[in-house]
């Protein structure tokens, strides 16, 4: 007759299920199956956290509701992590994310816009002239991909520079 292992947890263990728990020590989280550690990651390592909780769910060690209750995370975040694990495996959590590049501001457009900025045109004037959103140009300026040219100053004559007309009798 097989003998079952008693779920004996170290002191300070937070239970996820009756046989699975975790301990948080300083900046490390260790997951325990009974008295055996099964995985450790840094407290702020979100990718490893998502990977291990989804692995527990997919392998049957815990239900999604157990994870939600134990860690106070949202149901949708657990569902998304489980979906990623099922589609890509553990490596899916550590891959670089795909991001879009600058679609509108290509190299040739950037050069043309920069020449207009150097002439002193404003982002609004350039956006109207080149049919580009003003917000797109302003973001590129804030990001440092473009630099603002010297603004043209309207030269108004001050009172001391205006010639005085003296009436002659």
Please write the tens of the pLDDT for every residue from 138-164. 988 988 888 886 655 555 656 566 666
Number of folded domains in the chain?
2
Q: Is residue 155 part of a domain?
A: no
Is 61 within the bounds of a domain? yes
Judge whether 2 lies within some domain: no
Asked whether residue 139 is assigned to any structural domain, the reply reads: yes
pLDDT over threshold 80, residue 167: no
Same domain as 56, residue 114: no
- Please give the pLDDT value at position 158: 60
166 vs 19: which has the higher pLDDT: 19
Give 22-69 pLDDT, tens digit per residue. Answer: 999 989 999 999 889 999 999 999 999 999 999 999 999 999 999 999
Q: Do 83 and 48 fall into the same domain?
A: yes
Kindly state whether residues 76 and 132 are assigned to the same domain.
Answer: no
Pair 23, 89 in one domain: yes
Give me the pLDDT at residue 103, please.
Answer: 74
Q: Establish if 8 belongs to a structural domain.
A: no
Within-domain flag for 169: no
Are 67 and 134 in a shared domain? no
Q: For residue 51, with 0-12 CB atoms within 10 Å meaning exposed, 13-18 middle and 19 or more buried, which class applies?
A: buried
Residue 163 maps to a domain: no
Mean pLDDT computed over every residue of the chain? 86
C-beta atoms surrounding 46 within 10 Å? 13
Same domain, 27 and 70: yes
Residues 55 and 111 grouped into a single domain: no
Query: Residue 3 pLDDT > 60, yes or no?
Result: no
In this structure, the answer to whether residues 26 and 57 fall within a common structural domain is yes
Domain contains 4: no
Looking at the chain, the whole-number percentage of residues with pLDDT higher than 70 is 82
* Location of structure tokens 């600058």: 102
Alpha helices in 18-63 (DSSP H): 46-58
Query: Residue 115's domain spans which residues?
Result: 107-143
Residue 81 contacts by C-beta under 8 Å, 6 or more apart in sequence? 50, 51, 53, 54, 93
pLDDT value at 4 more than 90 = no
């Amino acid at each position: 007759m097989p003998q079952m292992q008693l779920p004996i947890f170290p002191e300070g263990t937070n239970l996820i299920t009756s046989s699975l728990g975790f301990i948080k020590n300083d900046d490390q989280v260790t997951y325990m199956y009974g008295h055996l550690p099964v995985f450790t990651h840094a407290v702020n390592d979100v990718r490893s956290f998502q990977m291990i909780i989804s692995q527990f769910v997919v392998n049957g060690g815990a239900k999604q509701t157990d994870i939600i209750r134990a860690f106070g995370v949202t149901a949708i975040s657990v569902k998304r992590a489980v979906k990623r694990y099922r589609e890509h495996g553990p490596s899916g959590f550590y891959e670089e994310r795909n991001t879009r590049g600058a679609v509108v501001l290509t190299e040739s457009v950037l050069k043309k816009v920069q020449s207009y900025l150097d002439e002193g045109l404003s982002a609004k004037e350039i956006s109207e002239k080149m049919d580009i959103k003003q917000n797109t140009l302003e973001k590129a300026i804030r990001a440092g991909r473009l630099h603002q040219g010297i603004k043209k100053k309207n030269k108004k004559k001050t009172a001391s520079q205006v010639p005085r007309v003296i009436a002659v009798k």
